[in-house]
Amino acid sequence: MSLYITDECINCDVCEPECPNEAIYQGEEIFEIDPGRCTECVGHYDEPQCVEVCPVDCILPDPQRRESEETLFARYEALMDEAS
């Protein structure tokens, strides 16, 4: 499943540069994650890098977007094709 950022976000900006898929962006009030670009770092890292660096633990799995590792890897491959 992709991740989302809760309203507990303090806008510290440490997550955005860690995202290898550029899925994190500044929303109207807090940072947000584009679920169409989030792979939970599958294909890049063993763990989601945004979760690793978040000081307030406000990045969680999105219960509305349950996705298998295969789906996340397919998204990773599509994003890499798009980038080249």
Domain residue ranges in the chain: 3-83
Longest distance between any two alpha carbons in the chain, whole Å: 36
In the CATH hierarchy, which top-level class contains the domain 3-83? Answer: alpha beta
Answer yes or no: is pLDDT of 1 > 80.
no
Which pLDDT score is estimated for 8? 97
**Range 49-57 average pLDDT:** 97
SS3 at position 82: helix
